[in-house]
Amino acid sequence: MNTRKRNLAGFALFFLSSFALILLDVGTKGHGGIPAYIGVCIISAFFGTSDALVQGGLVGDLSLMCPEFIQSFLSGLAASGVITSALRLITKAAFENSQNGLRNGAMLFFSVTCMFELACLLLYAFVFPKLPIVKYYRQKAASEGSKTVGSDLAAAGIKTDQDRQVEEDTQKHERLSTKELLMQNIDYALDIFLIYVLTLSIFPGFLSEDTGSHGLGTWYALVLITMYNVLDLIGRYIPLIKCLKLTNRKGLMVAILARFLFIPAFYFTAKYGDQGYMIFLTSFLGLTNGYLTVCVLAEAPNGYKGPEQNALGNVLVVCLLGGIFSGVVLDWMWLIGKGW
């Protein structure tokens, strides 16, 4: 599947999945039950599929451009988390004491989400391909033998004859295989995997269940998640300051392994600390997650041809998603000894 079709399919699936949740709620009138639960599970699976399509496609696409684009995209992901947290805080404040408050808040949230997702779909389809800098990098990638940008260039009104170019100079367009790219960047792949194994083993599950004693009541978990998202966003901008950007491969690995000290830190803070310490730890978790993610994904593609950068970006996203899945599974370990 070429990059354009992949990303458009992902954005469309995001929009349809969010809209389907609204229809499911309206159709069931807010009542639960097994059919509604199965419907939510199926829609959640579609969300996962769309996330894999869009995140892999865009990271691969932006990897063949320049590191600043990767940083901007990853910052956008973090900004979406901040907006989500803000919407949740607003809807909780607005509907907390009203009848069906949680349902009304969720409906408002998904309505706003649908508008954002539709805007993303339209912008990617009609605006993004025509940006001059995007056309430049895609033409450059096509000249290096990339076969995934043809439809994007066509959408921008640029015709290419890649097959003829490749036949004329096959040596020029030789590229490393995906396996070779993975072996050359196995440390980066492990880095991004470990970042998200650690993060998702704590956030958001542990923060919602094991937050210790506090005085914020039902707002406490929301405050923690909001602080994580805000600091995650800030962390993704720190690498823009060159003197603060970590590029040494061994240094990255050491920093990522050091983050596993968060596990005992969160455990003992939840057991013995107060809410101030927990908020600080959660904020630092978000800061390091955002910072290290950008450092790895922006640095790894450097030095490769466009098609290789695209492939490497996709490989690293697979590792990222694998880390997310593994972290979510490991998150259940916090429940050991709690009656599960």
End-to-end CA separation in angstroms for the chain: 43
Determine the pLDDT at residue 191: 97
The CA-based diameter of the chain, rounded to the nearest angstrom, is 71
pLDDT band, very low/low/confident/very high, at 152 (cuts 50, 70, 90): confident
- Per the CB < 8 A criterion, the answer to whether 40 and 198 are in contact is no
Tell whether the model's pLDDT for residue 336 goes beyond 70: no
Q: Which two tokens stand for residue 243?
A: 């003197």
Whole-number CA gyration radius for the chain: 22
pLDDT band, very low/low/confident/very high, at 144 (cuts 50, 70, 90): confident
Handedness of CA 109, 112, 114, 116 (dihedral sign): negative
Instruction: Give mean pLDDT, residues 115-131.
Output: 93
- Per the CB < 8 A criterion, the answer to whether 282 and 85 are in contact is no
CB count within 10 Å of CB 66 equals 15
Cβ partners under 8 Å of residue 100, min gap 6: 30
Measured distance CA(267)–CA(202) in Å, rounded: 10
DSSP per residue over 269-324, as a string? HHHH--HHHHHHHHHHHHHHHHHHHHHHHHHTTTTS-HHHHHHHHHHHHHHHHHHH
Q: Tell me what the pLDDT averaged over the chain comes to.
A: 87
DSSP per residue over 25-88, as a string? HHHHTT--SHHHHHHHHHHHHHHHHHHHHHHHHHHHHHHTT-HHHHHHHHHHHHHHHHHHHHHH
Cβ partners under 8 Å of residue 179, min gap 6: none
Measured distance CA(154)–CA(35) in Å, rounded: 44
Q: Which two tokens stand for residue 263?
A: 């596990």
Determine the pLDDT at residue 214: 66
Measured distance CA(43)–CA(226) in Å, rounded: 25
Residue 216 vs residue 72, higher pLDDT: 72
pLDDT band, very low/low/confident/very high, at 209 (cuts 50, 70, 90): low
Determine the pLDDT at residue 151: 76
User: What are the tens digits of pLDDT across the range 16-68?
Assistant: 999 999 999 998 887 878 989 999 999 999 999 999 999 999 998 898 888 78
In total, the chain counts a number of residues equal to: 340
Kindly report the CA angle at 77 between 296 and 331, in degrees rounded to 5?
Answer: 75
pLDDT band, very low/low/confident/very high, at 189 (cuts 50, 70, 90): very high
Determine the pLDDT at residue 71: 93
User: What are the tens digits of pLDDT across the range 230-278?
Assistant: 999 999 999 999 999 999 999 999 999 999 999 999 888 888 888 888 8
